[in-house]
């Protein structure tokens, strides 16, 4: 560690606030606006190049997050652009340095979260040589690239299943097919924790940790300390649909769950006893159905858009013949086996990355370069 040096961030970087785009220019041009949270509208100007370093400076939930821009874009007033001295600091290294422990601690706002350029400029960075920084970021980014590749593969596999579903059950649907409801073929919220539950600790899945079929994280909790919503029990091939804000895409299929997995009561759990779960999953998660469910949710009397399980059970569809359902089930099962294998690899790589990252950043583990 003797060759590591301390730097005052303001001495090795320049900072500039993003600016509010002009209303009359929004929707025109070829560059996306970027708030630090998402890329959104087209704009005729850019103030960030690809691979620029930014920190989210304001907003709800993301203040202090570090991002690297994916393309030329127009950075809005929610974020700060960082132009580091490239002979001293590697952008990717800085990104990873604060990827687990963000800069949220710099938040100087009271009513509203806020990080200022003055806050950033005072940070003390203990840095290895530029060569070692690049070697470290190369190791970590190679893991991230492998994870991203597996994620893209899963998206492709699922898109192929969606296309087949649409072709067979929408475009080629027969008017003679019987109209039925989802509730005719599934059990809703079949099992919940009761006094006979044998585990003292649980792995808890809340609605925000499942998006577009991918579980981001589980919370390890003592059962007696778990939130009141930690009640639903699931089994292999159960379909989960969030009843809160359906347009947020918090849904998925549970595959080979660990025995103490518990999910939030914010999910409607569909146990597909008489029909292929992948058919039900694709029926309930296509964009048209998501919009429909959100419309129902917005009509609810609760404080935020939400569904009742009975709303999902009441959804109607035309039931295809058994032979076609069987044919689709065989194809879908094979597809989701591939998806699940990829997810297992992704979780392994994510665990390796998250284990390595603090060790590399502290110098406990060194990279040969």
The one-digit pLDDT tens for each residue of the chain (369 residues) are 558 999 999 999 999 999 999 999 999 999 999 999 999 999 999 999 999 999 999 887 788 899 999 999 999 999 999 999 999 999 999 999 998 877 877 876 666 778 899 989 999 999 999 999 999 999 999 999 999 999 999 999 999 999 999 999 999 999 999 999 999 999 999 999 999 999 999 999 999 999 999 998 899 999 999 999 999 999 999 999 999 999 999 999 999 999 999 999 999 999 999 999 999 999 999 989 999 999 998 887 777 788 999 999 999 999 999 999 999 999 999 999 999 999 999 999 999 999 999 999 998 998 887
- Number of domains forming the structure of the chain: 3
Residues 45, 162: Cα–Cα separation, whole Å: 37
Residue 17 lies in a domain: yes
Q: Note whether 73 and 39 are within 8 A (CB).
A: yes
Strands 230-233 and 261-264: antiparallel
Q: Note whether 295 and 305 are within 8 A (CB).
A: no
Query: Are residues 313 and 198 located together in one domain of the fold?
Result: yes
Rounded to whole angstroms, the maximal C-alpha distance in the chain is: 78
Q: What is the pLDDT of residue 110?
A: 60
Q: What is the Rg, in whole angstroms, of the alpha carbon atoms belonging to the chain?
A: 24
Expressed as residue numbers, the domain containing 276 is: 178-319
- Closest-CA residue to 201 (of 218, 179, 182): 218
Query: Are residues 136 and 95 located together in one domain of the fold?
Result: no
CATH of the domain at 21: 3.90.220.20
Q: What is the pLDDT of residue 107?
A: 72
Query: Are residues 142 and 54 located together in one domain of the fold?
Result: no
Residue 170 lies in a domain: no
Query: Are residues 281 and 187 located together in one domain of the fold?
Result: yes
- Closest-CA residue to 209 (of 266, 167, 162, 148): 266
Residue 307 lies in a domain: yes
Query: Are residues 339 and 307 located together in one domain of the fold?
Result: no
Query: Are residues 331 and 275 located together in one domain of the fold?
Result: no
- Closest-CA residue to 13 (of 90, 79, 70): 90
Containing 138, the helix (H) or strand (E) segment is helix 130-166
Residue in this structure with the two tokens 């990355």, named with its chain if needed: 353
Query: Are residues 249 and 123 located together in one domain of the fold?
Result: no
Query: Are residues 196 and 308 located together in one domain of the fold?
Result: yes
């Amino acid at each position: 560690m003797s060759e590591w040096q301390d730097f005052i961030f303001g001495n090795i970087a320049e900072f500039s606030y993003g600016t509010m785009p002009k209303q009359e220019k929004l929707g025109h041009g070829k560059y996306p606006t970027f708030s630090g949270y998402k890329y959104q509208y087209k704009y005729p100007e850019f103030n960030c190049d690809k691979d620029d370093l930014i920190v989210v400076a304001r907003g709800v939930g993301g203040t202090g997050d570090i991002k690297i821009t994916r393309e030329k874009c127009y950075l809005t007033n929610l974020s700060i652009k960082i132009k580091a001295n490239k002979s001293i600091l590697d952008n990717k290294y800085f990104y990873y340095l604060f990827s687990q422990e963000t800069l949220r601690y710099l938040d100087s706002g009271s009513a509203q979260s806020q990080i200022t350029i003055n806050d950033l400029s005072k940070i003390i960075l203990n840095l290895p040589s530029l060569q070692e920084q690049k070697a470290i970021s190369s190791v970590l980014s190679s893991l991230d690239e492998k994870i991203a590749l597996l994620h893209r593969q899963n998206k492709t596999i699922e898109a192929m299943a969606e296309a087949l579903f649409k072709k067979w059950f929408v475009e080629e649907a027969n008017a003679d097919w019987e109209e039925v409801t989802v509730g005719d073929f599934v059990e809703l919220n079949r099992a919940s924790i009761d006094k006979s539950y044998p585990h003292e600790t649980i792995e808890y899945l809340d609605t925000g940790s499942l998006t577009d079929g991918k579980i981001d994280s589980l919370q390890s909790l003592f059962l007696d300390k778990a939130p009141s919503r930690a009640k639903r029990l699931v089994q292999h091939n159960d379909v989960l649909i969030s009843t809160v804000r359906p347009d947020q895409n918090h849904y998925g299929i549970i595959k080979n769950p660990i025995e103490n997995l518990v999910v939030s009561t914010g999910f409607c759990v569909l146990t597909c006893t008489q029909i292929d779960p992948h058919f039900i999953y694709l029926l309930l998660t296509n964009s048209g159905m998501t919009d429909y469910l959100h419309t129902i949710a917005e009509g609810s009397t609760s404080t935020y858009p939400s569904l009742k399980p009975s709303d999902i059970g009441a959804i109607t569809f035309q039931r295809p013949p058994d032979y076609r359902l069987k044919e689709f089930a065989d194809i879908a099962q094979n597809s989701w086996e591939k998806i699940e294998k990829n997810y297992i690899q992704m979780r392994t790589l994510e665990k390796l990355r998250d284990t390595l990252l603090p060790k590399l950043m502290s110098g406990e583990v060194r990279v040969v370069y």
